[in-house]
Structure formats: structure tokens, C-alpha cells
Chains A and B, each alone.
Chain A
Amino acid sequence: MSNSKAYLTLVFAAFTLFLLLGPLQPFLRETAALTPFYATGVSLGKLMGRPCGLLLYVASGLQSCFAIPWLGAGLFTILLVAVAFALKWAFRVSDAWFGLCWVPSFALLVNFTQLGYLIYTLKHPAVAFADPLGFLTAFCLMGLWYRLKDWQWKLVFLLLVPTVGYWLLGFFGALVAPFLGFCELAIARFSLFDHPSEKRGGTHWVWGVLLFFVGCLLTAFTRAIIFPSFSYEVGHLAFTNAQRDFRIPGIIALVYPSLFACFRFRGKKPWMTTVAAVVFAVAGLATFYYSFRDPNFLNILRMKHAAEAGQWEQVLKIAKTGKEEPTRAQVCLTRLALFKTGRMGDELFTFPEGSAAYNAPQNQWLRLMIGPLLYYHYGKLGFAYRWAMEDLVEYGERPAYLRYLHRVAQLNGEEALARRYERTLARTLLYRLSVAHTCANQDADSSSIRPLLNYTDQLDGDNGLVEFYLLNSFALSEGGSREMVELSLMDGLITKNLTGFWSRFLALLPTWEDHIPTHYQEAALMVAQLQGGAPVSNLPIDPVIQQRFQRLVEASARNGDNAANAFALRPEFGDTYWYYYFFVEGLKTN
């Protein structure tokens, strides 16, 4: 390998690994959780019954390796490197121009890294690996065509690729013959351009026409007769019109190779290397720029993964260190972690509050990302199961959904059902390892969830508004276990519904022993002030809190309007329930 080739390869590999294993590592893990790959003959058999089945099976198998990020990232990098080398091989690009061959690889990299929130809603089993694998195979087939000498073999190629190719590779198999037809016609028509096959003239016309028209006809025939319900695009990562900007990398990967069909990229002159290197660098910068590195998105994923591993302190650590205004998903995960660690009453209002918009087109992102997780941990098992199932119906048999179906079935005592999900999860290639890891926490989870199941079942609906439903269901509930009463108390405070405050507060009072959690002390003082008649003097309220409340009352009387108070009092009282009650408004609970 020449030096320039080796350098470019190393730079590309380093860049890709840095991007994937650095900022995007949580994204890789989440992608693995959303990859429906099951290593069974039945799964393969079912996929083989449709076009592109083989490619999707292999691609989703490789993608599931993201469960071990370094392995998945390594495989992905190797694949993208192979795409560049295949392009070079197919069109006999010289070493000097090799930098140009990396553009499709960069495009395919950003085709995946740009997705962000869309990984939840794209109904494709292998969003990362399918396109690179498809293009790699297509480039290899193109290279093979140019190396076929005998017309008989070319004829076999012409018959097999559009038919068997469409079956095994879907869109990428269907693409090869028309693309090669275009190349042959380009050679025949634009004879001023030299071409890798080194021949011009009549045979190119003949093969061009045959490849283009017969190829298209054969694919159309195969599709119509054998796979009438599938589109020609099957296997290719497709976007809706509303997501059309996401199509650009795919289009680049598709159209860019036609340059190599029309123009000759040979020679060894230094300027060629320089031009190619510049193109390489621009493609790399564009890839980095367009990769979705939204801090809130990545933090939600980090918090979610920590929560699924039962690492609640880690959830809180991430919540504290976030620099942006949090989304509701982050706020909900923070509250859950505080509840799990028993610090809700002391610290809930000290954590960042906010309702930053998700950096994605409008959707129920909170429900899609953490809906089943929240419902499961708050003991609304029916709804956890429901949303995991609804998403499984809509987006496929992703292990991420099976995990909650499995856990709910276990807590429900549906042993046979739990075993079915367990067996299915056991057929995942690597995701099962991460499930096994988190299963270790399942007993702890179960023991913390069981006290929340002490309520009468009812028929209900949440319209997909997870936080709103959870807050209201606890805020409006009565009785239950100690944990449920505390959630009622806290969610009543969060929703600023103070009805029933005293009954819950007094019910919990004996359980607090020598320390009433800070926020409940704050609330008691405030409610007594607002509603009067409460026996605050008999309660063991910390004098420091009492003095602080007094200062708040005096300061708010001094400052005037609400907006001015909100600004002025935030530094001193921003970590209190009082501040939340009086000045935090307009938060969207979704």
C-alpha cells in the first residue's frame, strides 16, 4: 500500500472511531437496542422470503454489535474503508486520486450519524450498516463487470444481477445493472473520455442498452412476479418528505460514483493528490459538522442507559453536569433517580428544571425514548407493557421493547410469557450480554417497584402524555404504600395541587424519623402561610429553613412584580420549592 493510501485510511479510521466512540458512544448503544436481529434459522428464513433479506439480515447482525461499542464501531469503520477500496478497485482509480474515493464513505458515515432522534422512528432494521454493505456489494459487482472478458459471462451477469441481486440485495442489486448501463452509454457517447475498460465504440452501446433496459425489465419482472408488495427501494434507508434533508448523504453516495463512470481518474501527479486530499478533508469536516451531537439528546441516552443499569447516582451526576436547559425527558429521569435514591424530598428542586424543545421534528419523543422505562419504574405496568407493545408493532421487534415486555411479564407473574421473551432476547447476538448485565439489577428493581403496585386496577388512557399522566395519577391518588404516598405528596407539589398536602404530609411524618426532607419542610411552611390553620409550630421544622422562608417573604414584598422577583430571587432561592411554586411556570410536560 502506498503511503498516501495508508495515511488516508488511517486518518479516516481514526476520525470515524473518534466520532463513534467519543461523543456518539451512547448513540451506538441505543442503535444496538433498536436493532431487531435474532440469530435463528427462522428469522433468516423469513427475511429470505423478501427482497433484500440477506443484506438486511447480515447488516442488522453487524449493527447489533454496537451493543459492544468498540466492536460495532470497528466493524463499521472496516466496512466504510472497504467501500472506499471497492470504489477504487471497481473504477481503477489511481493512488493519487484515492482521496476522492472516500466521499461515499464519509457520506455513508454521516448518513447514520446525522439521524439522532430519528433512530426511534425509522422503520428500518439496519440504519447504520445496510447502506454501506449495499454500496460495498454494488461496487464489487461493478468492478466484477469491468473485469469480465467473455460476452457469455457478461450475459450471465446481466441475467443474474437484476434478478437474484434484487432478491438478495434489494435496492442495491437493482441499482447495479442500470448504473453500469449508464456507464457503458457514457463511454460510448462521450468517447473523448478515456475509461477503465480501455475500449470505446459499438460494444459499449450494445451492453449499455442491454444493461439499462434489460436490467430494469428483469428487476421489474422479478418484483412483479415474486415480490409484488415490495418497492424497488427496499433495503435503502428511506426518509419521508418531512425528513428530506436527511436524504442528502444517501444521494451523494448514490450519485457521486457516476463521476468515475464518466471521467478518468488516473495519473500520479502531486496536484492530483492535493486536490483529492482537499476533497477528503472537506468531506470529513462536513461529516463532523452534520453528525448529530445535540448535548441534550446524548445526555438523555446516557441517563437512560444508566437508569437501565440501575446506576441512579450516575443519572443524577449527568443531570447535574448538563449545561443546556434540560428537556422533559431529562427532568423525568432525574426525578426517577431521586425517587430511587430516596433523595427526592431533599433535592428535587435543586436540580435543573426546564422544558427545552427536542432538537427534532415534533413527535412524542419522551414516550418513544423512555415511556416504558418510566411507567415500569413507577408501577404502571399496564402502560409500560402497552407502549412497549405499541412501538414493537409500529417499529419492529426491537430488543429495547422486548426488554420491557419481559420485565413487566415477570412482575405480573406471567411466567410463561416472560420465558418466551427471555428466549427471544437470548437469540440476540450481543444485546443479550447487556440485558444479562442489567438483569442483575432486576431483583433490586422489582423490590422497589412492588410497593408501587398497591393500588386498584382501573381502565385509563394517557394519550401518550407520559409525564402528565404519571404526575396526575399520583397527585390525585389516595392511600397506598409509603412510597406511593410520598409520590402523591411530591407530585402534588410538582403539579402545584396542594389539596391533600397535610393528610399526606402527616401520614408520612412518622416515617421520617428525625429529619423531614427539606422540600417537604419548605412546602409545609408555604402551605401554612397560604392556607393558614396548620399546626406548623408543632412540627420539627429546621430554623434555618424557617429563616430562609421569612427572607423570601420579605424579599418578594420588596421587589414588586413576579418577573422581577423571579430574576432577583433565583440566586438565593432557586433551589427551593417556594421558588418553583411561585416562579417556575409554563413548563410543558411532554
Chain B
Amino acid sequence: MKVKVSIYCIVATVSTMVMLLCGCSPSLPDQYEEATWQLPPDYFSPNNFGATLPPNVAPLNFRIMQGDASKAVSRIHSAKGGEIIVGGWDVNIDEEDWHHLLDKTRGDTLFCDIYLKAYGKWEHLPTQHFLIAEEPIDPYITYRLIRPSYVTYEELTINERCLENFDERVVYENMRFEDSDQGQCINCHLPRDWNRQKESQFHVRQALGGTVFIHGDQVTKVNLKTDSTLSAGVYPAWHPTLNLIAYSVNETGQVFHTLDPQKVEVIDYASDLILYDLDSNTVQHIDHTASEFESFPTWSPDGRTLYYISAHYTPRAENIDADLDANYDQLHYNLFARDFDLQSHRFGPRRLVFDAEAIDKSASQPRVSPDGQYLLFTLADYGQFHIWHKSAELWLLRLNSLTPDLSSLTPDPSPNGEGSSYFFSCILAPQVITPLSIRRGVGGEAAPLETGVGGEAGADSYHSWSSNGRWILFSSRRDDGNYTRLYISYFDKDGQVHKPFRLPQRSPDNDDLLLRSYNVAEFLLQPVQPTERQLRRAIKSDAHPATYTGSALLHPEADSTAVLPARPAEERRGESIAY
């Protein structure tokens, strides 16, 4: 008898739960009318519709503005079959169903139909869509979370996020050593070769400062500041094949606008480039000229060319800081390159790649695509710290070829007489420059998006390429002009940039309530290996001091800073490359 009662109880409970679940599951309306009203731009938050998605990305959950409607049902479906139906204003899509649907829809279109019930009648909004690319995206990204702050800083984290789901973990958090007399700043977590070999680096400033190198689960800390260099390494660039990292060294300051909504200017009062050899723990100068402010180095994929930005500065007053503060908008950075010999580790003379000054602009953060065909950089009105510049946009420079015609090269003996070195100057002549209209929508079209994600002029700044070169991850303040969010754009084989989507979040509130910025985001093929404990232990230990060993130039005495056109910019404007 007891057993029977128990069985009845279980059956009754299960059936009730099933009935409740069935009752709760959303269903599409049988009858509806087509909505005729215009959707406001912020009707969906975030509005990723129209974007091209990787087939392995996490669900793009979104929120529908409620308005007068009382109910909402969304149907996400593919022409190749399969659908997901989600009820409610927060469209939280089941991860498993989403991946199944995306997998089916590779290379095709994913549709989203939204039905609203208002005043007892159902309406169908215009069908939205996503394009699903064939090529997957690297599964992880790393970034720093920081408040868009000025001088003070408190809690900073270097995070790692899986793009295939919503898992996020803190790689390192600076408050570990909060009891120190000084605070601790952390920045520039940069993987080598998309972390294929589990190698990356980041900087620790002030308390227990140094540059942290990660190799598998091995962690070491190095002090890159030497008596002969301006500072420790700042903006890094891993050499793709050799154990070398190019860094800028910068003397950076901040000054504040009294009225301009750009709020702050981050100015370099001096900067150089150095080359760090991980094997010998030595530092060499690459560019070391007082009148040239070099920064943001980056290597070509074959490791034979180093691109960077540089501004020519002629002091107008004795106090350089005051002079630059007063004339901050007169400092324009151009793109330069130096050839690099893989055997001798020497650099050739510099050459101008893109004369931004000639068009009254300033370039920053160059990054070459993995196939070596494109140079992606940020262009704004002046300066180099474009995250604070509302005029900042991503631009693309199409490079002629990165495959040198070896037959045309003449051997150039290395300075120490050992072996020979080859410099491929003039091969990388820039041919086409196009504004990369990521901010506006599909590449090439300068019209604002119909369903734009925000009305603010938003600095598009730091960017990186995925390992397959098909995805561009970039930070942007387009949403509100102040808090940087991450966007991802598809870059197709024809060199067209597709409408970006914002980094998927489990809830729209995550972005909305997060009063922090995403900073220096990079793709990773696999997670960072060391645990926080291992990192903490390494950071607590003493930093190995690097040794300075002179110049890395082939002919240091004939450094070609004179390459900078001697004529004023206004004279050169007529010669500027088409843009």
C-alpha cells in the first residue's frame, strides 16, 4: 500500500511538473499582423542583427524594449532547418540549441522573427537576420577590465573569456598585493602567436613591478628598465618566430580637459623603441632619437618587418611638457617600417609607410593581418592614445605583397661580418588605403547603420586579428562614448568588413551595469595556463634585470630619421596617398 502511494505521489508530481513546464514554454501565435511602425534604433539591446557571426560563438542574447506590448516571443531559425523559440523580453538562448543551429547554418543566414502582443493582438516585427560564416573564431580572448579612469586606479583584472560560451575567469587581479605600500597596476597582456605555444606576457607596475613572461606553466619576471632606456617596456610586439619582443619605451603623462567631452589627453613626452631578447635577457635600442616619438611596434607575420608609429617633434619651448600640453593637437603620428634581418637581428633604415600627418590625421596601433596583406590601424585627428579620441576610426592599409621577390635582392653583409642579411625595402609600398567602416557598417559604405547601436561618436581603437585572419576584435566606445566594449567583425576573403557584433553576454545587464572598460583585447587559441597562485608567486619574486647592449640597427650612426619629409605637411598634402 505504502509503495503504491509513493508511486502515485511521484507520478503526480512528475506530471504536474511536466504540465507546468509545458504551460510555461513559449509558443508562436497562430494569428498575427505585420508591424508597420518604425523600430527605434535602440529597440534591441544590444542590436547585433545584420552581423556576420562565427559558427562557434556563444548565443547572442538580447533584450527587447517592452514599450506597450505585454508579451514577446522570438523564433530563431534557419533555412536549413531547426529553430529556437524563446519567450520574454530578455531573449536568453539555450547554449546547446544555439550551437546546434549555428552548426547547421554555416555559410547561410539565420533568421529571427519576433512577435509582440499588445492590446490583445499579436504583431510580427520585420524579420531580422544574422549571416553565419564558414570560418570559426579563436575560442578565447583575453583583456583587461579597467575603469575609464584618469590617475587613480583600484581593482584591475586581466581576464580570459571563452567566446563559445559565457565562461570568464580572472587570470590575474592586482588587488592580491593590496597591503603593499604602493598600489599595483597591470597591463598589456599579449600572447605570442595567439598563445599557440602557451606564451604570453604582461606588465606589472609600481608594487613588485616588472614584466611577467608566461611559458606554459612557467612564469618569470624581468625588469626591462635599464639606465640607457627611457622606461621599462610598454607596448609589446612578439616576434612571430624568434625569441624577441619589440617594445616601445615611453614617458607618458596625462592632462585634463576643462570642457571637452574627450576629457583627458594621454601624451608621450618622449618615446623610443627597444628590442628585448628573451634568450640572452638583453635590451637594445631600435629607434632612439629625441626628436622622434616612436611607439606601438608590430611585426609582419614573416617577422621580417617591424611596423610602428612615430611623430616628429620640434621643441618650441624649453619646457617640453608644457609645450606639448599646449600643442597636444599638433602632434601627428605616421606609420613607419624597418626591415629586420632574421639572422643578424639587425634593423635596416626606416621608411614611411603611411603619411597620416599629410592628411591632418594621426595613426596609431598598427597590426598586420596573419596573411600579411593588410595593415589595420587606428586613425584620429591627433596624438596616439586614441581610446579617448572621438574621431578615432579603424583604417585598413592594403599592402602590395609580403612575399619578397628574392631574385631582386642584393645581399647586404651584416655589420659584424657574420653571414649576410637581406633588406626588402620598397617592396611593401602601400597601394590602397580604405577607411574601414566598421563603425558605420558594411565595409566601404560610409552611411550610418539603419539599426545603429548608438548615436555617440565612439572611439574605435585597439584591435587584433584572429589567427585565421577572418575576424577582427576591436574595442569601441560607440555605445556611449565613455565605456569601451568589445566588438567583433568578420573580414571576408575579398577584404570586406562586415557589420560587427558586440561580445556576447549572458545578460544585457552585464554590459549595461558594467562601469568598466574592456582594454587591450587579444585572441587566444587556448587558455592561459598558469594559475593565479603561480602568477602571484612569480610576481612576488625579484625581477631579473635585463642588460642593455646598444643599438639593434644595422647602421646606428646613420639612423635615417631624416627620412621624415623635411617639407611641411601642408606642402605634402597634394602627394598623399588616396584615402
Q: Do A and B come from one complex?
A: yes
Give me the interface of A with B, judged by CB distance under 8 Å.
38, 40-43, 123, 228-229, 380-383, 385-386, 389-394, 397, 409, 412-417, 419-420, 423-424, 427, 453, 455-461, 473
Q: Contact at A453–B259, with CB atoms within 8 Å?
A: yes
Rounded to whole angstroms, the CA-CA distance of A166 and B147 in the bound complex is: 29
A393-B149, A427-B513 known; A229-B176 Cβ under 8 A: yes
Tell me the bound Cα distance from A389 to B176 in angstroms.
23
Known: A229-B532, A415-B455, A460-B255. A382 touches B263 (CB 8 A): yes
Inter-chain contacts of A420 with B (CB < 8 A)? 479-480, 482-483, 512
Q: How far is the CB of B181 from chain A (nearest CB, A)?
A: 12
Chain A residues within 8 Å of B149, by CB? 389-390, 393
User: Could you tell me if B263 and A42 are in contact, using CB atoms closer than 8 angstroms?
Assistant: no
Find chain A residues with CB under 8 A from B480 CB. 414, 416-417, 419-420
Residues of chain B lying within 8 A (CB to CB) of residue A414:
261, 456, 480-482
Closest 6 CB pairs of A and B: A457-B259, A459-B255, A416-B480, A417-B480, A393-B149, A457-B260
Closest-by-CB residue of B relative to A409 is B482
Q: Is the CB of B513 within 8 A of A424?
A: yes
Q: Does B43 contact A (CB under 8 A)?
A: no
A392 touches B515 (CB 8 A): yes
A218 to chain B, nearest CB (A): 19
* B residues 398-430 in Cβ contact with A at 8 Å: none
Residues of B within 8 A of A42 (CB): 507, 509-510, 513
Q: Are A38 and B513 in touch, CB under 8 angstroms?
A: yes
- A414-B480, A415-B455, A416-B479 as given contacts; A390 in contact with B152, CB under 8 Å: yes
User: Which residue of A has the minimal Cβ distance to B536?
Assistant: A228
A382 touches which one: B256, B328, B510 (CB < 8 A)? B256
Indicate whether B454 reaches chain A with its CB closer than 8 angstroms.
yes
Q: Within 8 Å CB of B176, what residues of A?
A: 228-229
A383 touching B258 in the complex, CB below 8 Å, given contacts A420-B512, A424-B515: yes
Q: Which residues of the partner chain B approach A427 to less than 8 Å between Cβ atoms? A: 513
5 A/B residue pairs, CB under 8 Å, sorted by A:
A42-B509, A42-B513, A386-B263, A393-B154, A457-B257
Indicate which residue in A123, A423, A459 contacts B265 across the interface (CB closer than 8 Å).
A459
A556 to chain B, nearest CB (A): 40
Per a CB cutoff under 8 Å, which of A394, A412, A416, A453 touches B454? A416
Q: How far is the CB of B572 from chain A (nearest CB, A)?
A: 28
Q: Which residue of B lies closest to A464 (CB)?
A: B151
Residues of B within 8 A of A382 (CB): 256-260, 263
Separation in Å of the B382 CB from the closest CB of chain A?
Answer: 12
Q: Is the CB of A417 within 8 A of B515?
A: no
Q: Which residues does B use to contact A, with CB under 8 Å?
A: 147-154, 173, 175-176, 255-261, 263-265, 325-326, 328, 454-456, 479-483, 507, 509-510, 512-513, 515, 532-533, 536
Main secondary structure of the interface of B (DSSP, over half): loop
Q: Give min CB distance, A464 to chain B, whole Å.
A: 10
CB-based nearest B residue for A391: B152
Q: A417–B512 contact, CB under 8 A?
A: no
In the complex, A123 Cα to B152 Cα: how many Å?
14
Task: Determine which of A43, A417, A460 lies in contact with B482 in the assembled complex, contact meaning CB atoms within 8 Å.
Answer: A417
Can you name 17 extra interface pairs (CB under 8 A) apart from A417-B456, A417-B481, A417-B482? A38-B513, A42-B509, A42-B510, A228-B533, A381-B258, A382-B260, A385-B263, A386-B263, A390-B152, A392-B147, A394-B154, A416-B481, A424-B512, A424-B513, A458-B257, A459-B258, A473-B258
Q: How far is the CA of A457 from the CA of B326 in the complex (A)?
A: 11
Nearest Cβ on chain B to A239's Cβ, whole angstroms: 14
- Minimum C-beta distance from A352 to chain B (A): 30
Query: Distance in Å from the Cβ of A104 to the closest Cβ of chain B?
Result: 28
With A42-B513, A416-B479 as contacts: A455 and B259 at CB distance below 8 Å: yes
On chain B, the residues within 8 Å of A423 by CB distance are: 512-513
SS class of chain A's interface: helix, strand, loop or mixed?
helix
Complex Cα gap A389–B515 (Å): 10
How far is B147's CA from A116's CA once the two chains are assembled, in angstroms? 28
Contacts of A393 in B (CB 8 A): 147, 149, 152-154
Q: Which of A43, A416, A417 has the most CB of B within 10 A?
A: A416
Task: Specify which chain A residues have a CB less than 8 angstroms from the CB of B515 in the assembled complex.
Answer: 392, 397, 424
Contacts of A41 in B (CB 8 A): 507, 509
- Check B512–A380 contact: CB distance below 8 A: no
Q: Which residues of A contact B263 (CB under 8 A)?
A: 382, 385-386
Chain B residue nearest to A453 (CB atoms) is B259
- With both chains docked as a complex, state the minimum distance between the C-beta of B456 and any C-beta of chain A, in angstroms: 5
In the complex, which of the residues A38, A43, A457 has the most CB atoms of chain B within 10 Å of its own CB atom? Answer: A457
Say how far A416's CB is from chain B's closest CB, in angstroms: 4
Query: For the complex, what is the distance from the CA of A42 to the CA of B533, rounded to whole Å?
Result: 27
For the complex, give the distance between the alpha carbons of A38 and B483 in Å.
19
Q: Which residues of B contact A391 (CB under 8 A)?
A: 152
**B81 CB to nearest chain A CB (Å):** 34
- Which interface residue of A386, A415, A459 has the most chain B CB atoms within 10 A? A459
Docked Cα-Cα span, A409 to B515, in Å, equals 14
B153 partner residues in chain A, CB cutoff 8 A? 393
Chain B positions within 8 Å of A456 at CB level: 259
* A6 to B449 alpha-carbon distance, docked (Å): 69
Contact A381 B259 (CB under 8 A): yes
CB distance from A332 to the nearest CB of B (A): 18
Partner of A394, one of B152, B265, B328, B507: B152
Given A229-B532, A392-B515, A414-B456, A40:B509 Cβ within 8 A:
yes
Closest to B156 in A: A393
Q: A386-B263, A416-B454 are in contact. Are A460 and B481 (CB under 8 A)?
A: no
Q: State the CA gap A453–B260 with chains docked (Å).
A: 11
> Which single residue of chain A is at the shortest CB-CB distance from B175?
A229
Chain A contacts for B513, CB-based, 8 A: 38, 40, 42-43, 423-424, 427
Q: Taking the nearest CB of chain B, how far is it from the CB of A223, in angstroms?
A: 12
A391 to chain B: closest CB distance in Å? 8
Judging by beta carbons under 8 Å apart, are B455 and A229 in contact? no
Which of B325, B326, B481, B536 has the most C-beta atoms of chain A within 10 angstroms of its own C-beta? B481
CB distance from B154 to the nearest CB of A (A): 5
A393-B154, A394-B152 known; A459 vs B325 contact (CB < 8 Å): yes
Task: Tell me how far the C-beta of B153 lies from the nearest C-beta in chain A, rounded to whole angstroms.
Answer: 6
Interface residue from B148, B154, B257, B455 paired with A459 (Cβ < 8 Å)? B257
**Closest chain A residue to B513 by CB distance?**
A42
CA distance A412 to B150 in the complex (A): 18
Please, how many angstroms separate the alpha-carbon atoms of A453 and B259 in the complex? 8
CA distance A266 to B227 in the complex (A): 74
Residues of A within 8 A of B259 (CB): 380-382, 453, 455-457
Candidates B256, B265, B481; contact of A383 at CB < 8 Å: B256
The reply to whether B456 and A459 contact each other, CB–CB distance below 8 Å, is: no
**Within the complex, what minimum Cβ distance (angstroms) separates A269 from chain B?**
50
B265: chain A residues within 8 A (beta carbon): 459
Could you tell me the distance in whole angstroms from the C-beta of B114 to the nearest C-beta in chain A?
Answer: 22
> Cα distance A78–B536 when bound, in Å?
44
Which has the most chain B C-beta neighbours within 10 Å: A229, A380, A409? A229
Shortest distance in angstroms between A364's beta carbon and chain B's nearest beta carbon?
A: 12
Specify which chain A residues have a CB less than 8 angstroms from the CB of B533 in the assembled complex. 228
| Contact of B151 with A390 in the complex, beta carbons under 8 Å | yes
Contacting pair B256 A460 (CB below 8 A): yes
- Chain B nearest CB from A407 CB (Å) reads 13
Q: Please, which residues of chain B bring their CB within 8 A of the CB of A38? A: 513
Q: A576 vs B512: C-alpha distance in the bound complex, in angstroms?
A: 53
CB of A468, distance to nearest CB on chain B (Å): 15
Which residue on chain B has the smallest CB distance to residue A418? B480
Cα distance A458–B325 when bound, in Å? Answer: 9
Question: Are A416 and B257 touching (Cβ within 8 A)?
Answer: no
Q: A390 is contacted by which of B150, B255, B325, B509 (Cβ under 8 Å)? A: B150
Bound: A526/B371 CA distance, A:
77
Which residue on chain A has the smallest CB distance to residue B454? Answer: A416
Tell me which residues across on chain A come within 8 A of B326, comparing CB atoms.
459
| Distance between Cα atoms of A456 and B257 in the complex (Å) | 10
CA distance A394 to B255 in the complex (A): 19
Q: Chain A's nearest CB lies how many Å from the CB of B43?
A: 14
Given contacts A417-B480, A424-B515, A427-B513, contact A389 B147 (CB under 8 A): yes
